[in-house]
A = this chain, B = another copy of it.
C-alpha cells in the first residue's frame, strides 16, 4: 500500500526537486503538484491524496488558509507544512489550521520521509528545531496575545486581504472566490474598519508585516 502524496508549492523547481527525491521511496508516490492554495484545494477533492506537503507562502491562497479549508472538507487528509519560517506565529496558525506536520525548508530531506510516514500513522511531526519550545509556546500563547491578523480577521477576510495585497481588483477577487462583487466590497470595508486602515497601500503594508503576502512582486 503506497502513500499518495501531493505537493503544493509555488516554485516549480521546488516541486520537481521534491518529486525526484521522493521517487526513491517505493512506499511513497507523488500523484500531483499544485502551484497555489486554490489549486491544491481543487486537486485534493479530485485526487484524494493521503498526504499533502504544503508550502505556506503562496500567491492567491496561502498555505494556512488552504489547509484550514482542505482539512475541513477532506476528512482523513494529512497536511504537512513546509516553510522557511520558524516564526512561532506561522507554526501556531498552521497547526491550528489542522496541519499534522511542520517542516523547515532547511531540514534534511530524510525528515520529510519521516514526517510523511508519521502523519500517515496519524502522528504529528515537527522539525526538531521546533518541537519543544513550540509546543509550549503554542499552548501558552493560545489564549492571550491575540492581536495578530489571525485573531482579528475571519478566514474569509484574511483571504480577501491577501488577494487585495496582491494587487487584485475587487472584481477579480469576486471571480476568484466565486462570490459577488458586493460581498467582496463588504469584506474590504470590514477589514478596513477592523484594522483602522483605509487605504490599499496601508493594507498591503499590514499584510506584508503579518506575513499574508510577500513584499516581492
The stretch from A27-35, A58-66, A200-208 touching chain B is A200-208
A181-203 Cβ-contact flags toward B at 8 Å (1 or 0): 00000000000000001111111
Please report the C-alpha to C-alpha distance between residue A198 and residue B217 in the assembled complex, in whole angstroms.
12
A205-217 Cβ-contact flags toward B at 8 Å (1 or 0): 1001100010111
Q: A168 with B215: in contact, given A204-B204, A208-B208 (CB under 8 Å)?
A: no
Q: Does A76 contact B (CB under 8 A)?
A: no
The residue from B168, B197, B208, B209 contacting A199, defined by CB atoms under 8 A apart: B168
Q: Does A128 contact B (CB under 8 A)?
A: no
The interface on chain A, measured as residues whose beta carbon lies within 8 A of the other chain's beta carbons, has a size of 21
Please report the C-alpha to C-alpha distance between residue A215 and residue B217 in the assembled complex, in whole angstroms.
15
The stretch from A10-18, A36-44, A104-112, A159-167 touching chain B is A159-167
A27 → B minimal CB distance (Å): 43
The residue from B165, B197, B209 contacting A201, defined by CB atoms under 8 A apart: B165
Residues from chain B with a CB closer than 8 A to the CB of A199 are 167-169, 200
A42-85 Cβ-contact flags toward B at 8 Å (1 or 0): 00000000000000000000000000000000000000000000
Residues from chain B with a CB closer than 8 A to the CB of A202 are 167, 217
A198 → B minimal CB distance (Å): 7
The residue from B165, B166, B168, B197 contacting A167, defined by CB atoms under 8 A apart: B197
Interface residues of A (CB under 8 A from B): 164-169, 197-205, 208-209, 213, 215-217
Apart from A165-B201, A168-B199: 16 A-B pairs, beta carbons within 8 A: A167-B201, A167-B202, A201-B201, A201-B203, A201-B204, A201-B213, A202-B217, A204-B204, A204-B205, A205-B208, A205-B215, A205-B216, A205-B217, A208-B215, A209-B216, A215-B215
Per CB-CB distance, the 9 closest pairs between chain A and chain B, nearest first, are A167-B199, A200-B200, A167-B201, A167-B202, A201-B204, A204-B204, A165-B201, A205-B215, A200-B201
